[in-house]
Structures are given as C-alpha cells and as structure tokens.
Amino acid sequence: MSWPYRFLPNLTEEQKDHRRILLDTYAFRAQLSVLVPLLLLQLYFLGSWTARRQFRGGKDDVPSSPRGKELRGSSARWLRDVESALTRARWWGGEEVEILGMKMGGRKGEVLGASVWMGWLLVLCIVQTGDDYFHLTKRFGIIAASQLPLQYLLALKTPYSPLQYLTRSSHETLNSSHQLLGRITTILLYLHAIFYLGAWITIGNLASKIQEWYVLAGIFGIVAFTAVGTTALSPVRQWSYRIFYTTHVTLATALLPVLFFHVSHIRIYLYETAVVYAVNIILRSLASTTAPASVRVLPSTNLLEIEVPQPQGVAVRQMWAPGQHAYVSLPGHPTLRTFRSNPFTVASIPAVDGNLLFVARILDGNTAKLAKAANESKRQHEITVEGPYGVITHAEKLLAYDRILFVAGGVGATFIVPLYRQLLADLSPSKGSHRRQRVKFLWSVKSKAEINWALPAEAREREGFLERLIVFVTGCREAGNMTGTSGGFALGEPADDAYGETGEGVELEEQKNLLSSKADEDGKTAPDGLTILAGRPNINKTLDQTFSRCHGSERVAVVVCGPSGLTRGVRDEVGRWVGRGRDIWFWAESFGY
C-alpha cells in the first residue's frame, strides 16, 4: 500500500480557506470531546447513588444495624453481581503498569483511558485530510494545541477546580491524568515537527526555514515539552524534586508567550490556557495566609512540628477536613515561595483542636530550612500556609463501612490520625462501644518517641484513641530491647525495608536525613493503655482476621498511608479479598514521589 499523502502546490484561496475551516473544526471537536467521558462519569455517579438509595436505605442507616443488613440482604442479586464486577474492574484499573517485571508508573485504568484518548485524537488528526500532506501535518499541531487548556486545568491545585468537582477527585488523583495527557500532547507535537522536517528536507528549504522566527518558536516549544516530560520521569524526580519542579513551572509559564508567536491559529487555545493559569495563581494567592507559628524539632526524633493557630470563626474552621493537606513554607515573595514550599498533611482536626498541626520528617530542602528556623532562640516564626487541598469526603465515607482498618508507616500517620480521631468521635463518644471494636489502627514507627505528637491532650479522647491502636517499633535499637506477644501479628518480619521508610519521605525533596534520631527516656515511656510490639505488622494475618470475622455482606474499608513498599504490600493483600467478591473500599495515600 503506497503512501497516500502528497504535496499539493498552488492551492487556491478557496482550498486554503476550506482547509483552515477543517483544521479549526476538528481542533474544536478535540477540545469538546472531553465532555463525553465527564458526562458518562456523572451518569455513573447518578446510577451508584440511585442504587444505594434503593437497595441500601437512607444515608443515616448504620451499616451494621439490622435494618442495614436487611436492606443489603434484600438487594437484587443482579445488583450485587454488578457491584462485584465493578469493584474488580476498579481494582484492576488501580494496579500499577508493569513491563518485564518493572513498574513503569501509572495505573492500568489511567493508561487504558489515555490510550483510548490518544487513539481518538489520532482519528481526529486524520479524518478528512484527503491526500494533503501539509493538512495532515498542521492537524497534528492544532489538535495538540487544543489540549493545552485541559492540560493546565488538570494541574490546578485549587480545590475549586471544576474537574475536581466533576470527577470527585483531588489534585493528586488528577495529576496522573495531567502527566499522561502531557505525554500525548508531546507525541502529537513530535509528529507535527517530524512531518514538517520531512517536507522541508524533501523540498530542500530546511536551512532557510529554521531561520524564521515562527519556526524557532516552534522548535523552542518542542524542546520545552521534551524537557518537561524528561524531568517529570520518576528517576529524575527522585534524584532532585527541586530540579523537576523548577523546570516544570518555568517552562510551562514560558511556553504560552513563545507559542503565541508560533502561529496565530492556535492563539484561541493559548488565551484559554492563560485564563486557567491566571485563575490558578489568583486562587492559590487567596488560599494563602501568613501567621505566627510554633516551629520545633520533636525530642528524640528527626521530626519537625509546626503548629499554626487556626483563624477564629465557625465558617473558617469548617473549611478544613481530616485528610487534607497544605503547602507550608517560610514567608517570602509569592513567586519564589512556589519553588520552596512543600505539601504537608494537616495532622490535627482544626475544627476541634483550634490549630493547624503539621509534622514532617526533616530532609534536605524546605524542611531543613524550617528546622534551622526551629533551632533559633525565638519561639514564634512567620509561616505561610496555602490550603486546604485534597479530598474532603473521607471522614464521611468511612461511616458507611462496617469494619475499618487503618495502616500507617512513620509520618504517614499524619494522614491517618485525623481520620481515625474523627471516626472514633462519630461512632461513639465512649470507649468500648460495639462499632469501635470494628476499627483497628496499625502504626509502624522507628522509635516510640515518634508517636507522642499524635496523642490527644484531652484524657477521655486519649483513652479512646489508644484503645484501637497498636504501635510497631521497627528501629533496631528499641525493637531489640522489647518483647511482646503477637496477638495475631507477626513480629520482626520482614527483615528488609519493605515496610520501612528508607528512601521515602513526606517531603518531595532529596532523600537525606539532616538530624540524628537519638532515643531518650521520654521516648521510651509508653502511655498507659498503649499496645507496643516489636517488629512489623503481618498484613496478611491482619486482613485474614478482619475478613474472617465479618459476614460476607459486610463492607470493609482499608486506608493506608506510608512508604511505597507499605502501600504496595497492603494493596496486594487486599487484592486477594477483592478477587473473592468482598465489598471493599481501599484508599492508599502516598507521600513519596
């Protein structure tokens, strides 16, 4: 089959106008096409809500109550089969993509969706191009440009992002789609450039073309997209997050004015992208506040604690929900602050505690600067907080499940602890209640001193907090001096760093500890009622116990936050029970790269 495209010289003005109309039409269709998956997603949400209302009763029905069990038992079998199939499909879609045993980054569902989207855009690039080589070449470029507003919209950090509302996802979840769409756009731009390059070589005017300003602007665009994509690769981010982030933000900003001078036909999409960019800056600025805060290094740890008084007023305090995070830094010019702030999970419940508490392991970069400030003589430091960001529905969603298992590794507990406290408060104010017995919290730490920040100050809440918590000390020095009975958990296994924090951190910075972790007597004193065991929790046995003790119709939630080795291990074990058709909600909050 011969190559169908050829150079068409001496096109009439009418033919050129017709080609321009087709180029603009298909670029417009490519941009509007995103409404189709968004509409399908809304229909899915509506169907799920309708099924829950019809077969599971009202919102206030307690899952483990007789009414809740009766409603689930009377549900149509076909609905349960559909739910089971959807659960397995979602679980498969959440698995990491592996090629030859190597994890390539991205989830199967995301990559599948991106592949379908790429195929659709390629169809739009080819349809009605006839045999016009330059029409095909220009189509690749304008279709790529039509994706820029969506690309920047996916990168919005503000919780007011329309995509976050429509998909019920956080910025962190949408960020994977942002990365995949960036790769798709880059591929289309490569094809655009390669086709033009081939034409100029064939015609023999390459030398003169690459000296023209609009061509140089296009070359800069290709180089910028390549640099952004390269520095976004996982090895580069792990080597230096600062290089990745600085390159990403700088080039993403410079691309818009440069592409403006490339060709005039894509400017409508650049205007849209500029609006998204400006809105993002304005909303992030409005979400930022600078206030005096207490900054200190926790005794016997290399953990940094930042406590910011919460602004007064019910409306303001209710803005923050358990499981959210904020960007924290020392104050400075907003433009420069963007490059030296890091996401910190809010480790408190602001509406209850009256403050924003942040706890992070001290690494190189922003946390090192904050730790240096903590070592200064003055007690109060001006701290800039931007937020809140992240999903706000976790605490409410957990109430719909019969059994809940929390698993945290190290400072990953900053995400788990507020959800755990809120859940206990919502279930019952008293220790020993029936539903509290169905909650379990496993926390692995290097030393006992690392748990002190999480213990509630109020005696009654502290007692309930410790009731369902089991702490596993993995540090060699302390664990070697401890004894304990398993109580259903394997001690001291595995021996490697599968569930440790080696190479991981809450801050997206170079992996380098700056402070030593020396245990003292205070760190070795466990609070009354706290169960502390040596070694690591056996997740396999824990989940087997959790599911074997509950009826097959009961719903189980598993929430984990910690190093990637921990989240992968928990996910693998939960996957066995998903395969058996159990109704499970699994959430893994990662704090690495």
CATH number at residue 402: 3.40.50.80
Of 24-38, 313-327, 543-557, which range is least confident?
313-327
Residue 373 and residue 241 in one domain: no
The one-letter amino acid code at 527 reads P
More confident residue, 185 or 390: 185
User: Is 331 a residue whose pLDDT tops 90?
Assistant: no
Position 415 scores a pLDDT of 94
* Interval 426-433 mean pLDDT: 70
Does one domain contain both 567 and 498? yes
Cα of first residue to Cα of last residue in the chain, in angstroms, is 47
Query: Token pair of 164, please?
Result: 């976050």
d(CA 453, CA 298): 8
For the chain, percent of residues with pLDDT exceeding 70: 80
* Same domain assignment for residues 491 and 578: yes
Look at residue 554 and tell me if it is in a domain.
Answer: yes
pLDDT digits (tens, 9 = 90+) for 488-515: 333 333 333 333 333 333 333 322 332 3
Identify the domain boundary among 223, 251, 284.
Answer: 284
Could you tell me which residue, 158 or 27, shows the higher pLDDT? 27
Residue 517: pLDDT above 50? no
Cα–Cα distances in angstroms (integers) from residue 399 to residues 282, 322, 424, 427, in the given order: 35, 14, 10, 8
In-domain check, residue 481: yes
Q: Please say which residue of 337, 367, 389 terminates a domain.
A: 389
Average pLDDT over residues 509-522: 32
Among 217, 249, 284, give the residue marking a domain's end.
284
In a domain, 50, yes or no: no
Whether 301 and 439 map to the same domain: the answer is: no
Q: Assess if residue 171 is contained within a domain.
A: yes
401 and 463 together in one domain: yes
Question: How far is residue 435 from each of residues 2, 66, 404, 406, 479, measured CA to CA in Å?
Answer: 71, 13, 10, 15, 32
Q: Is residue 8 part of a domain?
A: no
Q: What is the pLDDT averaged over residues 353-382?
A: 82
Task: Note whether 121 and 202 are same-domain residues.
Answer: yes
Greatest mean pLDDT range, 144-148, 245-249, 582-586: 144-148
Is pLDDT of 172 > 60?
yes
Is the model more confident about 457 or about 277? Answer: 277
Residue 472: is its pLDDT beyond 70?
Answer: yes
Q: Is residue 47 part of a domain?
A: no
What pLDDT sits at residue 119? Answer: 97
Structural domain includes residue 263: yes
Token readout for 288 is 């930022």
DSSP 2: -
Which residues on adjacent β-strands are paired with residue 561? 408, 589
Write the CA distances from 207 to 94, 189, 199, 200, integer angstroms.
49, 21, 12, 9
pLDDT at 389 over 90: no
Are residue 460 and residue 560 in the same domain, yes or no? yes
* Residue 400 sits in the same domain as residue 515: yes
Specify if 358 maps to a domain: yes
pLDDT computed for residue 473 by the predictor: 93
Lowest-confidence range among 110-114, 165-169, 218-222, 490-494?
490-494
* Structure confidence at residue 499 (pLDDT): 34
Residue 50 CA to residue 25 CA, distance in Å, equals: 38
Q: How confident is the model at residue 418 (pLDDT cuts 50, 70, 90)?
A: very high
Which pTM was predicted?
0.80
- For residues 106 and 20, membership in a common domain is answered with yes
Helix (H) or strand (E) holding 356: strand 355-361
Residue 312 has pLDDT above 80, yes or no: no
CATH number at residue 306: 2.40.30.10
The segment with the largest mean pLDDT, out of 182-186, 311-315, 316-320, 368-372, is 182-186
- Is there a single domain that holds both residue 321 and residue 401? no
Q: How confident is the model at residue 103 (pLDDT cuts 50, 70, 90)?
A: low
Most confident of 261-275, 476-490, 545-559: 261-275
Query: How many distinct structural domains can be found in the chain?
Result: 4
Task: Say if residue 22 is in the same domain as residue 69.
Answer: no
Q: Do 358 and 490 have their domain in common?
A: no
Predicted local distance difference test score (pLDDT) of residue 514: 28
Pick the residue with more confidence: 507 or 209? 209
Quick one: how far is CA 509 from the chain centroid?
Answer: 16
Q: What's the whole-number mean pLDDT along residues 210-215?
A: 92
Q: State the pLDDT confidence band at 197, using cuts at 50, 70 and 90.
A: very high
More reliable by pLDDT, 341 or 386? 386
* Dist CA 60 CA 12 (whole Å): 69
Using pLDDT thresholds of 50, 70 and 90, give the confidence band for residue 254: very high
Number of H helices, E strands in the chain: 24, 14
Give the model's confidence band at 439: pLDDT under 50 very low, under 70 low, under 90 confident, else very high: very high
Q: Which domain holds residue 367?
A: 288-389
| Most confident region among 51-60, 323-332, 423-432, 531-540 by mean pLDDT | 531-540
In the sheet that holds 288-297, the strands lie side by side as 342-345, 325-329, 380-389, 288-297, 303-309, 355-361
Which strand (E) or helix (H) includes residue 309? strand 303-309
